[in-house]
Structure 1
Amino acid sequence: MSRRRAVLTATIALLMGATGFVVWSISPVLSDKKPTATTKILARDGSLLYEVSLPEEGDRTNVPLSQVPIRLQQAVIATEDARFRRHRGVDVAALGRAFRDLATRGRITGGASTIEQQLVKNLYFRTKRRTVVQKMRELVAASYWSFTHTKDDTLERYLNTVPLGGQAYGVAAAARTYFRKDIGDVTLPEAALLAGIISSPGSAEPYAHGAVAEKARSHALDRMVAEGFISNGDADDARANVVTVFAPRHPIKAPHFVFQVLNELEGAIPGIRDGGYEVRTTLDPDLQRTAEDVISSRLETLKDQNAGNAALVAADARSGDVLAYVGSADYFNDDIQGRVDMVQAKRQPGSALKPFLYIAALMNGWTAASVIPDLPVRFETQDGNGYYPKNYSHTYSGPVSIRDALGSSLNIPAVRVLHDLGLVPFFDTLRRFGLTFPEAPDYYGLSIVLGGGEVTLRDATQAYARLAAGARGISLRDVTEVKNAEGKIIFRAALTRPSPVYDDESSVQAAWIVSDILKDRLARSRSFGEANLLDVGKRVAVKTGTTRDFHDNWAFGYTPDFALGVWVGNADGRPMQGVSGITGAVPIWHDVMMLRLADVQEVTWPEAAGLVRKDVCVTSGLLANGTCPKTRVERFIAGTEPSRPDDWYKIFRVDAASGRLADESCPSRVVERTYLVPPPEYSAWFAATRYERPPDTDCSGRTTGQRDGQVMILSPLDGDRFEVSDRMAALNQSIPFIAGGSATAYRWRLNGQALESDEPTYLWTPSPGEYTLQLEGADRQVRFTVK
């Protein structure tokens, strides 16, 4: 008797539990309760950036099933629930696959949801996490729905409520949003597109993600063929039809930023778009408006040079807060592909990575005073071809300090330093500053420092923010706080002091030295002059970048508490016409930085602890000893400071009358004069600059040394190979012929044709062929090839 009672009790308990579960599952369907609040995206001051519309309040038009084209109905059924007309809300076969996935993979991977299940989930369970229990609730609710509604009623409700991206809910709203037409006019290619994006309305939204949407459309057509709704020929004809998609329009501020925030939050809060949340972001609305206005006005001056777009990121270098985020000049402008977020797009950075090379170099023994040859050079590559870096100006500066090389963004010294340092240390530094690349360092080679890889504006601006913070691991952030529908804070960004990117304290010192160089107006005067838009009247570090063929240009600048990055170009990759960083991105950077610092009296830069100060000769980088005419106080990481006095400038005793070296036969007064005697590798270059060399003959007529004025060809080098491109302007591909040694005129012969120049550099416009180059007075000729 007791056993029978126990069985009866257990049975009653199970029935009550099952009944309770069923009631719990269908209660949302019975109550039909809808969320009462939208998700709001707010700026840092609480002002509204965007209100994410609910399905009930978004762009939705209810239409009877009879008005929905049969091809669209078929496309949806074939794609989402092929056995829709044959089951009662639950597809047992598909459900079996789901349980098999659960048993073998530990999770339900999808593919089992019927139209009824999707409908009840979209209407009543949008914010629920995807668990086994929740899946069972949806199964029960879907079965209940199926028993209380006809198939046509179900399909009509589904087609009127299904989210299709772009704030369009239902097929009628989607047809109007994307095709600008009534639902009854939707064609088979358009129907397949709408059906295809149902499973991923965000990532397959057809205007922003056209390639993904096209794959989804093709899949929908395949499913329609498989279900016998259309023939293979119909599907092929539909694929050949190009569907014109229009951009959705909704009241929104900082649209690229808003959608980036929503995309970032969706992983942690799946129902963020469905209503009930308040998101407080880091965006400064005043700075955002300033950035947008400046971009608009500055691009207007560049439109004749085929520069149609720009992007900008501004961040607090102490917290990482994104203060301004402009993904394009106009989100709704189809002509510039305004929906493409150029803050997140990968593009070549030009010279913008050079500061991070020199941080690595300073940590490995180089100094700001180290002298690097800015002379023609060829590096052999793994494929056997020579790599021949050139400066943007097609000129050479001979010996230059790292300070001047970085400040003036000289290419050849940077490539020389990278060659000697090695690719691995440089890529490690880039990684620590947040810049990563998909391939191994050898894939990119030495050209990486001149823009041979791709980065995003966001990542590059973050790297400069880390530099501004003294080589600390600042990470950009968009959101400070999220509240749920009850007003409870479910996320709050932590305020923590970031750790250094290296354990070695020398990284902080190297970052300070690089920042000191980037704010040194004199150091950049060689390339940019002393009066330019890089100067904002305060001590601000700044670096530009320009790709070789004018596809992209950049400007990055920072103070200890603010970082600003700007990109100018075209989203489709079309080259601009002669627009460099200094003429494209820098004016935008300048105007925004000026407005940002308008109320700042002075920008202070606390010096990194432990640096050593030494007075050095600018020309040689060695210790000043009273002979060198141009010196400066330089900072060094302890242990890297020079210990040898300058020996490039030497004192000679000279006969005042004749200018010859003094000896016992000199008839006149003997004086002491200081002359530059550079190392042999620079002698020919200095001779070409017509600098005053020491006399090589004494008063008795004896020659005391070899004159260094011998004319010679410095560039090109023998065996050089060059390539020209039809896609680039000829002027941008000029090959410089560089002479060393002193001459009143430099007379070249190229394959026998005479060329003459008063200066040691002659710019030649190349054409394919084999060439022999001679220089009058030189004792050798060089051969090179142009392909």
Structure 2
Amino acid sequence: MRLASAVVVAGALVAALAFPWAGGAGVLVQNSVTLAGELPAALTGSVSGNSRVLAADGSLIASFYTNDRTPVPSDRIAPVVKQALVDIEDARFYQHNGLDVQGTVRAAVTNAAAGSVREGGSTLTQQLVKQTLLETADSAEERQAAIEQDGQGGLARKLREARIALALEETSAKDEILTRYLNTVYFGQGAYGIQVAAQRYFSVDAADLTLPQAAMLAGLVQSPTNDDPITNPANAQVRRDQVLQRMYALGHISAAELTEISASPVAVAPGDPSPNGCIDAAIGGFFCAYLQQYLVQTLDIPAETLDNGGLTIRTTLRPDMQAAGDQAVLDQLSMGDPRAAMYTAVEPGTGRVLAMSVNRRYGCSAADCESIVLNTAYSQGSGSTYKVFTAAAALERGIPADHTLTTSNPYVSRVYTNNGRPYVVHAFAGGGKPTMTMEEALYTSSNPYFMALQDELGSVEGPVRVAERMGMHFTASSAEQIIGGNRGSFTLGAEATSPLDLASAYATLAAGGTQCDPTPVTAVLDRNGEPLTGPDGDPAGSGDTCTAGAVSPAVANTLAQMMRKDVEPGYPGQTAPAAYVPGHQIAGKTGTTQNNFSIAFAGYTPQYSASVMVLNPKTNQDVGGQGGGMGATIWHDAMLPVLTGAPMVPFPPADPVLAGSTVPANPPTAAASTPTHDAGGEAADDNGNPLGTNTPPDNGSED
């Protein structure tokens, strides 16, 4: 019965192919020549392999795939592999035009008589068409049509595949078709294509496969599960020997080769599957995860395209900066520490994200792992790093850097209240002078001065709007809620802050006031190496999104000169001398939040901007110290290898009007002062209460 059925089906197909003038299905074949311009796109370009994520220097960071496939050109496939496959699957491959009527009938009869698949019925070209249509099906209906076996549906499928096969043979050389087939077909063990199969079963490249290995792989095509040499070595040996016998019968191997190989069991040297996803990233796992989110959510690239499109994604990650950042955070906090240290670097003037380091491994489930991209998460505040926004708002009002205020300690706000009660702030541990200029108050981080300065501005709106223009986002509370509540704590940095936002905002100052949205991508190429276009027709991820004049160059340059004194040697009361790298101009600001639940440092040169935040992402914890300690130290250690040996790039001079009578920030000739981390009032809570002392709060929570 099985034999009769097979002969009937084969006969129906042969009749349709042999008599194209008979109408119906025959017309499909007769008109195959008109299909040359209608071949499925998946059969006209390069074979889609794993999407590859490349660092700025071209090195591989990670891959994304559903089907593990690495296409290789013809000259990187051992000739013996091609011969073995043709011999066992389609011996007349080089003679037919995509269809082999003689081979179809012979295979149907042989397989029916044997009760199992002994010979391939379809040509390699037809098999390639079927595999491609199945893989590229966009719906359940298309997938069902690609595998339909019975009745008119099965015959229609075969006729469609035959028609496309004829067209493919008209437009492609035989070796191109064979190479495409070998790069497409499934070999079992999750291996698609000959290169991945060679690695998976033998830990070698496709170019280095031997005759026994080639025979085994060629035999896997018909039944990759049943003949798997790893799980079913006996079956694999039988199938391999069938391939060898066929090669011998066709005169392509000698009797000695047949005898010698057949006497030996199959020998495998299994390799690992290709790395897949950010959990397997070679470097920068958190950057990789941020990139993946950016591609899908910002560039609107479907996740399926990312996994199956064979994309090449060129990124902004600098491996040298990533490695330096990784080491810097680990030098301060071990992988198992509940406190997380995040180092995030951005390029001013472009927004390119250069590094994202965390003392965690990305994506796994162990205690030292994390699946949230902490570099972009909004959890704790970043303390007095926000004072720069208040200073910028004051400078925009024409209040110069040498603006002098005398404040009491504690200082009672004239503008801000908390539930009707006075809003009181303290200098840290009673430190700081009562009379200061804005510049001195910024680099010594005086809480009373900046609350008095915010009083002069009359509202928190100015600092909030400056922060937004510089690149800050507020998620726990919107900017409108902060302004509507007139929260005096804004200048003290109580708002939940993303480390990436902080680095980006300070990059705006480094770029002379030009704000650039952070981006991890420089180009996205499709499987043919052409730019992938978005819904608007423009290349996805091309170009930087920058806004000149987010703050004026006068304000940006004046602030840089003011904040150099927080880092560079020679300024008593400065909070961040630990960040200084000799021979370079560096501006920065420290921050510490209520109860030391987080510490921060944001620093920049004209070429680099980077933030450091240290906090417990799971719960509130006193992380110890202030921003000028661990925060500034991590920044220094991460930037030291990058800046050492590089030429010094100076900041532009301060604006003469905005600087007032203040001398531009040039380090004094005197020796550097002894570090006095946060002595001027750096570590304050969101109410301005000093941290590290037993002084009770003067009022409740600002929020």
Q: The TM-score by the shorter chain falls in which range?
A: 0.5 to 0.7
The 8 Å contact of residues 356 and 426 in structure 1, kept in 2 or not, is answered as yes
Find out whether 1:389 has 2:389 as its counterpart: no
Q: CA deviation at 1:309?
A: 1.8
The 8 Å contact of residues 356 and 429 in structure 1, kept in 2 or not, is answered as yes
The 8 Å contact of residues 337 and 572 in structure 1, kept in 2 or not, is answered as no
Q: Deviations over 1:33-74 (max 9, x none)?
A: 99541100000111000122333569xxxxxxxxxxxxxxxx
Find out whether 1:314 has 2:362 as its counterpart: no
Find out whether 1:372 has 2:405 as its counterpart: yes
Runs of 4+ in 1 over 6 A off after TM superposition: 783-786
Supply the AA of the counterpart residue of 1:345: A
Find out whether 1:585 has 2:631 as its counterpart: yes
- 2:523 and 2:46 map into 1 onto residues whose CA distance is 25
Supply the AA of the counterpart residue of 1:515: A
The 8 Å contact of residues 308 and 336 in structure 1, kept in 2 or not, is answered as no
Match of residue 287, structure 1, among 315, 321, 326? 321
Find out whether 1:633 has 2:678 as its counterpart: no
- 1:528 and 1:613 map into 2 onto residues whose CA distance is 19
The 8 Å contact of residues 348 and 507 in structure 2, kept in 1 or not, is answered as yes
Q: Deviations over 1:353-395 (max 9, x none)?
A: 1112111101113111111233122235262133212223333
Find out whether 1:350 has 2:401 as its counterpart: no
Find out whether 1:125 has 2:125 as its counterpart: no
Alignment match, 1:298: 332
Alignment match, 1:515: 560
Alignment match, 2:9: none
Match of residue 48, structure 1, among 46, 60, 67? 60
Alignment match, 1:191: none
When residues 263 and 148 of structure 1 are mapped into structure 2, their CA distance, relative to the original with a 3 A threshold, is: farther
Alignment match, 1:569: 615
When residues 146 and 544 of structure 1 are mapped into structure 2, their CA distance, relative to the original with a 3 A threshold, is: farther
- 1:326 and 1:447 map into 2 onto residues whose CA distance is 29
Match of residue 556, structure 1, among 594, 599, 602? 602
Q: Deviations over 1:216-272 (max 9, x none)?
A: xxxxxxxxxxxxxxxxxxxxxxxxxxxxxxx99535321111122122222532201
Alignment match, 2:8: none
Find out whether 1:431 has 2:506 as its counterpart: no
SS at match of 1:283: coil
SS at match of 2:385: helix
1:31-430 aligned at under 5 Å gives the runs 36-56=48-68, 124-125=135-136, 138-142=140-144, 250-266=280-296, 267-270=299-302, 271-300=305-334, 308-331=339-362, 332=364, 334-347=366-379, 348-375=381-408, 376-379=410-413, 380-381=416-417, 383-421=419-457, 422-430=459-467
TM-score, normalising length: structure 1:
0.50
Q: Deviations over 1:428-449 (max 9, x none)?
A: 1111111132532133601011
Find out whether 1:600 has 2:646 as its counterpart: yes
When residues 581 and 609 of structure 1 are mapped into structure 2, their CA distance, relative to the original with a 3 A threshold, is: closer
Find out whether 1:482 has 2:527 as its counterpart: no
Alignment match, 2:692: 732
1:464-543 aligned at under 5 Å gives the runs 464-490=506-532, 491=539, 494=542, 498-502=546-550, 507-521=552-566, 525-528=571-574, 532-534=578-580, 536-543=582-589
Q: Deviations over 1:292-337 (max 9, x none)?
A: 112112224x98xx66321111122132222212244332473245
The 8 Å contact of residues 61 and 284 in structure 2, kept in 1 or not, is answered as yes
Supply the AA of the counterpart residue of 2:431: T
- 2:150 and 2:301 map into 1 onto residues whose CA distance is 32
Query: Aligned Cα RMSD in Å?
Result: 4.4
Match of residue 443, structure 1, among 478, 481, 485? 485
Q: Percent identity, please.
A: 22
- 1:264 and 1:322 map into 2 onto residues whose CA distance is 12
- 1:555 and 1:123 map into 2 onto residues whose CA distance is 53
- 2:407 and 2:654 map into 1 onto residues whose CA distance is 30
When residues 455 and 143 of structure 1 are mapped into structure 2, their CA distance, relative to the original with a 3 A threshold, is: same
Per mean C-alpha deviation after superposition, the further-off stretch among 427-436 and 38-47 is 427-436
The 8 Å contact of residues 349 and 516 in structure 2, kept in 1 or not, is answered as yes
- 1:362 and 1:406 map into 2 onto residues whose CA distance is 13
The 8 Å contact of residues 401 and 659 in structure 2, kept in 1 or not, is answered as no
Q: CA deviation at 1:587?
A: 0.9
Alignment match, 1:77: none
1:634-653 aligned at under 5 Å gives the runs none
- 2:664 and 2:493 map into 1 onto residues whose CA distance is 29
Q: Deviations over 1:458-517 (max 9, x none)?
A: 111110111111111222221111111111123375556944334x8xx22111111111
Supply the AA of the counterpart residue of 2:411: V
Q: Deviations over 1:54-109 (max 9, x none)?
A: 33569xxxxxxxxxxxxxxxxxxxxxxxxxxxxxxxxxxxxxxxxxxxxxxxxxxx
Q: CA deviation at 1:569?
A: 1.9
The 8 Å contact of residues 534 and 542 in structure 1, kept in 2 or not, is answered as no
Alignment match, 1:679: none
SS at match of 2:484: helix
The 8 Å contact of residues 307 and 570 in structure 1, kept in 2 or not, is answered as yes
- 2:439 and 2:433 map into 1 onto residues whose CA distance is 13
- 1:34 and 1:139 map into 2 onto residues whose CA distance is 26
More helix by share: 2
Supply the AA of the counterpart residue of 2:468: R
The 8 Å contact of residues 405 and 435 in structure 2, kept in 1 or not, is answered as yes
Per mean C-alpha deviation after superposition, the further-off stretch among 316-325 and 350-359 is 316-325
TM-score, normalising length: structure 2:
0.56
When residues 573 and 443 of structure 1 are mapped into structure 2, their CA distance, relative to the original with a 3 A threshold, is: farther
More strand by share: 1
* Number of residue pairs matched by the alignment: 450
Alignment match, 2:78: none
The 8 Å contact of residues 307 and 576 in structure 1, kept in 2 or not, is answered as no
Supply the AA of the counterpart residue of 1:466: T
Uncovered stretches (5+) of structure 1, i.e. residues with no partner: 1-11, 59-119, 127-133, 150-159, 163-246, 616-631, 636-721, 725-729, 736-764, 767-782
Supply the AA of the counterpart residue of 1:520: K
- 2:359 and 2:438 map into 1 onto residues whose CA distance is 35
Supply the AA of the counterpart residue of 1:567: M
